Amino acid sequence: METEKTNEPTVIPREETSLAKPHVPTDVNELAALEVGRGVQIVEQRTQILETLRVASIKLTMPNDWTLFKSPEGVVTGFLGDQGCDRVKKLWGIQVNNLGRMEEIRTEDSDEFAFRITGDGVCGMTGEAVFEMEGVRYSTEPYAQQKPAGLQRVVAVQKAARANLDGGITRELTGLKSVPLAELENAWKGTGRTWNECNKGRGFGSGNERQTGSGSTSAHGIDAQDIPECDVCKIALVWRPGKDGKEGFFGCKNWASHKDTKVILQLAEAKKIAERKQAERDKKKATAPAQREPGADDE
């Protein structure tokens, strides 16, 4: 009697399967010692895993988590901010260890101060580690200035310094501190997110232009001429990125001079105002009398 043949499963030695794991260190000699083609397969597997992790990480972030920088050659890359790093660090299994003490930095002739903290980090996915990373934040930054001078501002800077430490470790271990613009666009396809809503940094005009969004189109999809004005100062509002996952907003850069009258405008409302202004311009353009071209014959 004939018996039906069954396909026997291919058994891969345990030491070979372990080499495919991103957190297992290896070298070219170990890969070359494997059977023909297996070393290349392991490299491809590792590459696919890391690429999948990067795409998944970007999908977890929001546009205002990123700041774009443009080189003199026109190359645009994205830098993931601390709040964005907080969204992705669990995906990579990032742990922060050996925290140093929170060190205060002050100058004798100024009320300005900063806080500095150090720590080590390890990535559970890749096994990579970094040591004595540093997180620093200053009392002169916008988020700190929005807090009353004294204990509240001190605590805000301390929290920001710790977040900066975690962010620096996460960026270093995930490679998300300089991401090509095309990679952001591809990861966000179908999500409704766009790089135009990212913060703009060096290479996108002066500091004031980046904050107000001036240029042909602002960083948040609003033309420069449509950036709302402060009701008190009558100057263009500036963009303030959100903190701790909160949505960003437009605010007055001179807010400290009129603390009792805060001017805060959410992005959605600012866009509605811009749409109304554009509609008014379109209406005026449609009803304006036709202009005779220079040199045209009179009818």
Cα separation, 224 vs 214, whole angstroms: 4
Q: What is the pLDDT of residue 290?
A: 54
Is the pLDDT at 179 greater than 80, yes or no? yes
For residues 172-187, average pLDDT: 95
pLDDT-based confidence at residue 12 (cuts at 50, 70, 90): very low
Q: Assess contact for 92 and 171: CB atoms under 8 A.
A: no
Radius of gyration of the chain (CA): 27
Q: What is the pLDDT of residue 245?
A: 58
Please count the CA atoms within 13 angstroms of the CA of 199 that sit on its side-chain side.
23
Is the pLDDT at 213 greater than 50, yes or no? no
**In this structure, which amino acid lies at residue 82?**
D
pLDDT tens digits, 99-120: 999 999 998 778 899 999 999 9
- The tokens for 183 are 């990679």
CA 134 to chain centre: 19
DSSP state, 244?
T
- The tokens for 158 are 């301390």
Q: Assess contact for 161 and 137: CB atoms under 8 A.
A: yes
H/E element, 211: helix 207-212
Cα separation, 77 vs 181, whole angstroms: 5
- Compute the C-alpha angle 167/140/215, nearest 5°: 80
pLDDT tens digits, 29-51: 666 666 667 767 777 888 898 89
Cα separation, 204 vs 66, whole angstroms: 14
Q: What is the pLDDT of residue 13?
A: 47
Q: What is the pLDDT of residue 76?
A: 93
Across all residues in the chain, what is the average pLDDT? 80
- The domains of the chain are located at 14-60, 65-187, 205-287
Residue range 65-187 in CATH 3.30.390? yes
Q: What is the pLDDT of residue 134?
A: 96
Q: CB neighbours (10 Å) of residue 12? A: 13
Q: Assess contact for 89 and 166: CB atoms under 8 A.
A: yes
CA 169 to chain centre: 15
Q: What is the pLDDT of residue 242?
A: 67
Q: What is the pLDDT of residue 32?
A: 60
Considering the entire predicted model, what is its pTM? 0.63
pLDDT-based confidence at residue 207 (cuts at 50, 70, 90): low
